[in-house]
A and B are shown apart, each in its own frame.
Chain A
Amino acid sequence: VTQQSAGRVLVVDDNEQNLALIRAQLELAGYVVSTATSGGAGLAAAAADRPDLIVLDVMMPELDGYEVCQRLRADAATASTPIVMLTALHERADKLRALETGADDFLSKPVDRAELLARVRSLVRQKRLLATVEQERATLDAVMASMTDGLLVVDADDRIRFCNARAATFLHLDPAEAVGTRAERAFERLLLQMPGATAAGAAWRSALADPGARPSFELSLTADGQQRDVLVDLFPFQETGRPAPENGTSGQGVGVLLRDVTPQRDLARAKDELVAVVSHELRTPLASLVGFAELLLVREFDEEERREFLGIIQEEGRRLTSLVNDFLDLQRMESGRQTVVPVPIELGPVLARAVAAAGDDPARPIVLDRPPVLPLVSADADRVLQVLANLLSNARKFSPRGGQVTLAARPLEGEVEVSVRDRGLGLPPEAVPCLFEKFYRVDNSDRREIKGTGLGLAICRQIVEAHGGEIGVESEGLGTGARFTFTLPTASPVVGSGDVLVVDDDSGFARLLEEAH
């Protein structure tokens, strides 16, 4: 069992006898001792060994103790290493000079054993305390530098005491220069480049005036060239070592936490927008529904008008129903409550069923284009049918002057691509990236008569993505038609022993078989 050493000490002395004596005394007390017999050798040993303490003789040829001491202090590695100088007895000038060149203490020759050990022990303890504090500080710095929140610490005199990297980014400060400067001035400068500066300035000043109330406010700041919503929280702290509060000053510093809440605000904004759109989409059919019902109740109309208005009520009622259905469908999928249940299926029968379900429309015939053999896909047939029904109905709706619709499928690497091609109105380029967004409508006079909930394609995207596939659209522009494509992953071709492959175009039955199995 090795006992932990009391410390590592470097002794530098040109007198070998003296050196041996000090070494023996220190080693007996439990120190690990290294030695050097000249100033030059001492500097080299100090750099290499990083001792906890250096005992340094003043009187040495060539490089004397004062010179060595100065050089040790100039080197960052040894700048804070305790140094005890060995001086001649009663030489007051030597002792003063030792302290002036950076020594922490001195011992007079001949060295008294008890005094040597007492001074060394005290200085090593101080050195270790300092090392602990420095390590704590370094850890704290590392933590604060890694924080996603900005942290600014302002003392009771309004001087910036600390500013981590994130806070510096938010407040446009140079962290190295900011420390020690007036916080108010830094903030005034920041205000100059901020929108809504007056309100922000008022919030900042009233918050600083009463940090005890733990004020919290939001600022719109630019960080790394981007506009960010930043939540600012202030909290007071009592500065340690500060005299009790006296006239004017509270003796309290203020901590400022800056949190980037842009993602949360974006989400809230998107939610508000959605609520507004949904409210609009619900109120529009309600206007006709409620309005005509009221007219029918309070006025007399002939049979023809009566039937017309009832027809409108029914039509708008259906529109509301599909809107609510589509919206709930989408919500269930987005929240993950409704999931697809993919099983290996043959796509061919699903495509054929989709065409049959779309019904006849002589002006807009649907042509099925598929190779005789397609790999099995891993899909939920009912959900795929829903996507196909949507895309086929859109293809026809947006072909007001008629035109052929082609439903095609082709195998790709690890997936099957299904496409629906029409020769209808087509899409302006700016619509392509937004087309699968909720309630997005192409704003062009050629399609104002075409109705829909604005949710069909958003639902299609959810379903396809839940399968692990991708959905997309291409169009060469207005009047050229559009081609919607989506992919479905092929079913794993390896079927282990004991596995049963269920192939049935009726997915309900397929699922039943699977569960029975």
Chain B
Amino acid sequence: LKKKVLIVDDEDNVRRLVAVTLSGGDYEVLQARDGVEALAVAQRERPVLVLLDVSMPGLDGIEVCRRIKADPALRGTTVVMLTAQAQADVQRRALAAGSDTFLTKPFSPLQVLELVERKVGAGP
């Protein structure tokens, strides 16, 4: 059974990049383009890891992260925040919302792959 990884970003190309990066591995890549869709997919599919963009229209990534972390059904889901803002303030807010780690755009796809393998591999 493949491990489910959810990529949430309003940028089509970024979602495609992550999907291609994780393809060929032991992952089923799910996609969502905004916060509302992300929560729906997460609750339905229970991914082991969510790559979550911070600034999205509507419900932003910080709030989505907070809700994932508050959902008992999603306990054990790792959240990796993706930010296009290098400001320490955003990273602080991401950590405060319960995010496990974060990556700054632009990021190296190989590093993303390595990070996902490390986070997911450790789990069941």
Contacts and interface: CB of A to CB of B under 8 A. Distances in A.
A130 interface: no
Interface stretch (A275-283, A331-339, A426-434): A275-283
Nearest to B58: A443
Which of A283, A298, A316 counts the most chain B CB atoms within 10 A?
Answer: A283
Given A288-B14, A312-B13, A279 B20 contact: no
Contacts of B34: 445, 448
A392 interface: no
Interface stretch (B39-47, B67-75, B79-87): B79-87
A287 B17 contact: yes
A316 B84 CA distance: 15
A292 interface: yes
A185 B18 CA distance: 62
B87 A276 contact: yes
Contacts of A305: 20
B84 A290 contact: no
A280 B14 CA distance: 14
B57 A287 contact: no
Interface residues of A, number: 26
B106 interface: yes
A426 B108 CA distance: 39
Contact of A448 (B10, B14, B17): B10
Interface in A280-308: 280-281, 283-284, 286-292, 294-295, 298, 305
Interface string A252-282: 0000000000000000000000001001110
A157 to B, nearest CB: 45
B16 A287 contact: no
Nearest to B16: A312
B104 A291 contact: no
Interface string B21-32: 100000000000
Nearest to A272: B87
A295 B20 contact: yes
A294 B111 CA distance: 11
A287 B14 CA distance: 7
Interface string B82-119: 00111100000000000000001111111000000000
Nearest to B15: A288
B105 A294 contact: no
Contacts of A279: 84-87
Nearest to B18: A291
B86 A284 contact: no
Contact of B57 (A295, A309, A443): A443
A397 interface: no
B33 to A, nearest CB: 7
Question: For chain B, which range describes its interface: under 10, 10 to 19, 20 to 34, or 35 or more residues?
Answer: 20 to 34
Contacts of B17: 287-288, 291-292, 295
A294 B84 contact: no
Nearest to A283: B84
Nearest to A301: B20
A448 B108 CA distance: 26
B107 A280 contact: no
A441 interface: yes
Contacts of A291: 14, 17, 21, 106-109
A287 B103 CA distance: 11
Contact of B13 (A288, A295, A298): A288
Nearest to B111: A294
B63 interface: no
A82 B90 CA distance: 74
Given A441-B57, A443-B57, A448-B34, A287 B84 contact: yes
Given A291-B21, A312-B16, A448-B34, A284 B87 contact: no
A316 B20 CA distance: 17
Contacts of A276: 85, 87
Which of B55, B107, B109, B110 counts the most chain A CB atoms within 10 A?
Answer: B109
Contacts of A298: 110
B84 A280 contact: yes
A280 B56 CA distance: 12
Nearest to A309: B20
Interface in A211-237: none
12 contacts: A281-B84, A283-B85, A284-B11, A287-B11, A288-B17, A291-B17, A291-B108, A292-B17, A294-B108, A312-B13, A315-B13, A445-B58
Given A279-B87, A287-B105, 18 more contacts: A276-B85, A279-B85, A281-B84, A283-B104, A283-B106, A284-B84, A284-B105, A287-B107, A288-B11, A291-B17, A291-B109, A292-B20, A294-B108, A295-B17, A295-B109, A309-B20, A315-B13, A444-B57
Interface of A: 276, 279-281, 283-284, 286-292, 294-295, 298, 305, 309, 312, 315-316, 441, 443-445, 448
Interface of B: 10-11, 13-14, 16-17, 20-21, 33-34, 55, 57-58, 84-87, 104-110
User: Nearest 9 pairs between A and B by C-beta?
Assistant: A288-B13, A287-B105, A283-B84, A290-B106, A286-B106, A287-B106, A291-B17, A280-B84, A283-B105
